[in-house]
């Protein structure tokens, strides 16, 4: 298999690769599915492809968020009605531009009815299994519509329910893929089908062996594509999004951000773990296992793009900064183990056990005899419609040890190689420490990451990123 897959030395121009009869998986994100025009542009990307092709799509932009908000009791009724209408309108607008909407209209209508039914059921009882079932409708809709777009462009495209292949644990909301089950099913159903027709299927969603619908975590369609590429023994996979590749920093923060032509798997992992939204961090895991390089490019016609390389980075590499990321809304909890509390014994173990039970994964932990410091990532608060640290969690944790809570911190991460040896970076940091409130400053053990937790507003943190971008890349 190592010889078949796309290795770093065989990496080439993506346009050439598309026409070489390779087996490939191509993923399109929400903005690439947002409306008829975006779908048309996305279709142009895959039209030249000659080999067996599986297309993985996300829900149309804003639909997953709307479905998530619909699942919550704390969303006002009027807003709920509006959200249902928005979801319907997005898809009906695309259908209105198709030549033969009647082919998929009944199926689309059935899915829109399912939104209403599942929403009503959730109002009575909110279980995570029902939330997943509701969320899955976004991808089921977009994939259906996109398959028809390809058919109308003269392609033999077929809709495929990924839940027949993407088998997972029953951990709703963040299900674990069952790799051998996925492989076996991909070999018997998806793989032969992709040799006959262009397969259009869903990212993000899966199903348990018993058939309950699950989801793989927010924004996990990239991960789905990587898992399917691994299971199908694809030669390569590609992630098509709204910007041409991985940049030195989020281009939405500064126009000075520059595209990166190639990035190592480790640095891509470090960058996305630190919060760069461009890829789901787990995307790199199947790619590493299968030794698969993959491409990140624009579905909207902008050229360029980034290859994420499959080989491990050379340890002797020189010190260099590759990219900078920013994640907002971080919460720092400091537990005070004053002598009175120490009597209770292993306070930090109790805190960790509580968080584990509550399924809260700390982004960072520091513990010594006097205190335990825990960083929580609350950047999904708006999407989830509640903070990761609910009032109930605060109360329960407070019983274990007195807490002080610092909200609205911003996490900046600098990603690269041998950062501990980087002269320029040291100088910049010295200046930053003087001028900004840096709450935590730490190198990751691998020396691929330098974390800077700042007690500044988001606007100031963005300024800091812009300044870093200028000083490190210009």
Instruction: Compute the half-sphere exposure of residue 128: CA atoms within 13 Å on the CB side of its CA.
Output: 11
Check binding of 250 to Mg ion (CB under 5 A). no
* Burial label, 271 (beta-carbon count in 10 A; 0-12, 13-18, 19+): buried
The beta strands (E) that lie in 225-352 are given as 236-241, 262-264, 294-298, 306-309, 320-336
Cβ atoms of residues 32 and 38 within 8 Å = yes
Q: Which does 266 bind (CB under 5 to 8 A by kind): Mg ion, ligand ADP, none?
A: none
- Which of residues 30, 177, 281, 286 is near ligand ADP by CB under 6 A? 30
Of 206 and 244, CB closest to ligand ADP: 244
Q: Which stretch binds ligand ADP (CB under 6 A): 76-84, 250-258, 343-351, 381-389?
A: 250-258
Check binding of 469 to ligand ADP (CB under 6 A). no
Of 58 and 168, CB closest to ligand ADP: 58
Q: Residue 53 belongs to what H/E stretch? A: strand 53-57
Query: How far apart are CB 416 and ligand ADP at their closest, in Å?
Result: 13
The answer to whether the Cα torsion of 54, 67, 115, 84 is positive or negative is: negative
State phi, psi for 429 to the nearest 5 degrees: -65, -40
Check binding of 361 to ligand ADP (CB under 6 A). no
Q: Alpha-carbon distance 354 to 292, whole Å?
A: 38
Check binding of 378 to Mg ion (CB under 5 A). no
Check binding of 297 to ligand ADP (CB under 6 A). no
Query: For residues 215-234, which are near ligand ADP according to CB under 6 A?
Result: 219
- Which of residues 166, 226, 238, 243 is near ligand ADP by CB under 6 A? 243
Q: Which does 281 bind (CB under 5 to 8 A by kind): Mg ion, ligand ADP, none?
A: none
Of 32 and 71, CB closest to ligand ADP: 32
Cβ atoms of residues 136 and 67 within 8 Å = no
Alpha helices (runs of H) in 125-172, residue ranges in sequence order: 128-152
Scan for tokens 């199947």, then name that residue: 286
Residue number of the CB closest to Mg ion reads 219
Q: Which does 361 bind (CB under 5 to 8 A by kind): Mg ion, ligand ADP, none?
A: none
Check binding of 139 to Mg ion (CB under 5 A). no
- Which of residues 219, 235, 273, 378 is near Mg ion by CB under 5 A? 219
Of 277 and 344, CB closest to ligand ADP: 277
Query: For residues 49-68, which are near ligand ADP according to CB under 6 A?
Result: 58
Query: How far apart are CB 24 and ligand ADP at their closest, in Å?
Result: 17
Q: Alpha-carbon distance 128 to 173, whole Å?
A: 7
Q: Which stretch binds Mg ion (CB under 5 A): 23-31, 205-213, 313-321, 380-388?
A: 23-31
Number of Cβ within 10 Å of residue 317's Cβ equals 11
Number of Cβ within 10 Å of residue 302's Cβ equals 13
The encoded tokens of residue 49 equal 């492809």
Q: Alpha-carbon distance 438 to 433, whole Å?
A: 6
Q: Alpha-carbon distance 57 to 53, whole Å?
A: 13
Check binding of 318 to ligand ADP (CB under 6 A). no
Q: Which residues bind Mg ion (CB under 5 A)?
A: 29, 219
Q: Which residues bind ligand ADP (CB under 6 A)?
A: 29-32, 58, 219, 241-243, 246-247, 249-252, 276-278, 323
């Amino acid at each position: 298999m190592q010889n078949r897959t796309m290795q770093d030395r065989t990496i080439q121009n993506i346009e050439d690769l598309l026409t070489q009869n390779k087996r490939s998986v191509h993923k399109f994100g929400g903005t690439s599915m947002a409306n008829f025009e975006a779908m048309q542009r996305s279709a142009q990307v895959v039209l030249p492809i000659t080999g067996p092709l599986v297309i993985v799509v996300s829900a149309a932009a804003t639909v997953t968020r709307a479905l998530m908000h619909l699942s919550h009791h704390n969303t006002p009724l009027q807003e709920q009605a509006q959200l249902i209408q928005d979801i319907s309108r997005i898809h009906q607008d695309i259908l209105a531009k198709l030549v033969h909407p009647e082919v998929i209209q009944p199926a689309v209508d059935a899915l829109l009815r399912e939104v209403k039914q599942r929403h009503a059921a959730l109002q009575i009882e909110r279980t995570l299994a029902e939330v997943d079932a509701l969320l899955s409708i976004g991808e089921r809709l977009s994939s259906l519509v996109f398959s028809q777009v390809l058919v109308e462009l003269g392609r033999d495209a077929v809709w495929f329910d990924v839940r027949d292949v993407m088998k997972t644990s029953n951990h709703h909301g963040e299900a674990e893929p069952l790799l051998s089950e996925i492989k076996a099913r991909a070999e018997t159903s998806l793989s032969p089908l992709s040799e006959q027709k262009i397969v259009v299927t869903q990212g993000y969603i899966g199903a348990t062996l018993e058939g309950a619908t699950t989801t793989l975590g927010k924004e996990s369609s990239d991960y789905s594509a990587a898992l399917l590429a691994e299971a199908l023994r694809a030669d390569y996979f590609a992630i098509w999004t709204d910007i041409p590749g991985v940049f030195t920093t989020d281009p939405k923060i500064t126009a000075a951000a520059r595209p990166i032509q190639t990035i190592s798997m480790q640095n891509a992992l470090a960058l996305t773990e630190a919060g760069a939204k461009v890829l789901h961090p787990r995307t790199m895991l199947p790619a590493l296992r299968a030794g698969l390089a993959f491409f990140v490019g624009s579905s909207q016609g902008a050229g360029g793009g980034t290859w994420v390389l499959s080989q491990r980075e050379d340890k002797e590499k020189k010190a260099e900064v590759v990219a900078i990321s920013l994640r907002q809304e971080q919460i720092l909890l400091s537990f005070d183990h004053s002598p009175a509390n120490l009597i209770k014994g292993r306070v930090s173990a109790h805190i960790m056990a509580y968080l584990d039970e509550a399924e809260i994964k700390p982004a960072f932990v520091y513990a010594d005899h006097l205190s335990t410091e825990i960083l929580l990532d609350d950047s999904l608060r708006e999407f989830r419609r509640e903070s990761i640290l609910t009032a109930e969690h605060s109360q329960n944790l407070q019983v274990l040890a007195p807490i002080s809570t610092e909200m609205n911190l911003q996490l900046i991460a600098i990603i690269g190689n041998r950062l501990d040896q980087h002269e320029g970076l040291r100088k910049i940091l010295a200046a930053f420490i003087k001028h900004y409130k840096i709450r935590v400053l730490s190198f990751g053990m691998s020396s691929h990451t330098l974390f800077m937790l700042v007690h500044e507003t988001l606007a100031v943190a963005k300024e800091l990123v812009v300044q870093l971008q200028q000083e490190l890349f210009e």
